Structure 1
Amino acid sequence: MRVQKDAQPFSLTCRVYFEDTDAGGIVYYVNYLKFMERARTERLRSLGYAQSQLAEEGLLFVVHSIEARYLAPARLDDALQVTAEVVELKRASLRFRQQVRRVADGQLLCEGQFLVACVRADNLKPRAIPEALHAAFAMDSGLSQ
């Protein structure tokens, strides 16, 4: 399934703290990945699923691969808007397109795509996304066949 163009991506606002910055006073590159992880986790929560609940049921979502581009720096105290848009939904995986923008001026700071696999918690082998969760992602994302 691929996303339709009119779907609105999930959005999370967060703030840059001192611990997020490097010696130059800008956000250390790997922290953008952490902000994006939080947005994906909150996207899941917005659908009524907590990662801890899914783990207890023997299901984990793991990042298979990422592609990221860093375009401009974020700095201490910046408010950031982080999006998490499902652009592809398969039987056992999802592809997210994500962006990090500065709230004050809307400037795009970082963007990427993440392939996230659904696996069994006990052996980390691929497994199908539960039907109800798959349907929730499809409906909320405006996905079509």
Structure 2
Amino acid sequence: MRAQIGAQLFQHRCRVYYEDTDAGGIVYYVNYLKFMERARTERLRSLGFAQSELVGENLLFVVHSAQARYLAPAKLDDELNISAEVMEVNRASLRFRQQVRRAADDVLLCEGQFLIACVRADSLKPRAIPEALREAFAVDPGLYPAGD
């Protein structure tokens, strides 16, 4: 299933705090992954799906794989815009494309792609993404990738 093409890009805004930086006042590389995780969580929340409620439905989203490119540093007190665009919805996974940009000048600092698996909370075995969530991301609910 293709994600919402042409839909307004989701943005999550955050500020860089001292705890996010290294001794030089530069954001430590792994913290970009945390910023992007928060943006994905807020994207789900914006669609009406709180992760705490999904756990009650025996559903978790876990990172299957991550790819990141670091292009420029964020620094202490920078305000950041983090996008969370769903590129693909499969039976039991979501593929996100994400960017971290400095709000003041819109410079791209980091970009990545993440494959997020849907699993059962009790066994961590793959499970189908609920139809309501699939539809929230879909342009055409009848459009699925080959083999799904």
- Scaled by the length of structure 1, the TM-score of the pair is 0.93
Question: Matches of 2:137 and 2:22 in 1, distance apart?
Answer: 36
Question: Matches of 1:6 and 1:98 in 2, distance apart?
Answer: 16
How many aligned residue pairs are there? 143
Change beyond 3 A, Cα 1:20–1:144: farther
Q: Does 1:122 align with 2:136?
A: no
Q: Does 1:109 align with 2:94?
A: no
Q: Is the 8 A contact 1:4 1:143 kept in 2?
A: no
- Which stretches of structure 1, 4 residues or more, deviate above 4 A after TM superposition? none
Q: Is the 8 A contact 2:59 2:119 kept in 1?
A: yes
- Structure 2 gaps of 5+ residues are 144-148
- Structure 1 gaps of 5+ residues are none
- 1:4 positional shift: 6.1
Q: Is the 8 A contact 2:63 2:116 kept in 1?
A: yes
Q: Give 1:12's aligned residue.
A: 12
Change beyond 3 A, Cα 1:129–1:4: closer
Q: Is the 8 A contact 2:10 2:83 kept in 1?
A: yes
Question: Matches of 1:3 and 1:57 in 2, distance apart?
Answer: 23
Q: Give 1:132's aligned residue.
A: 132
Q: Give 2:51's aligned residue.
A: 51
Amino acid at match of 2:87: V
| Mapping for residues 87-102 of structure 1, pairs under 5 Å | 87-102=87-102
Amino acid at match of 1:16: V
State the percentage of identical aligned residues: 76
Q: Which structure features the higher share of strand residues?
A: 1
Question: Matches of 2:111 and 2:39 in 1, distance apart?
Answer: 13
- 1:83 positional shift: 0.2
Residue aligned with 2:99, SS: strand
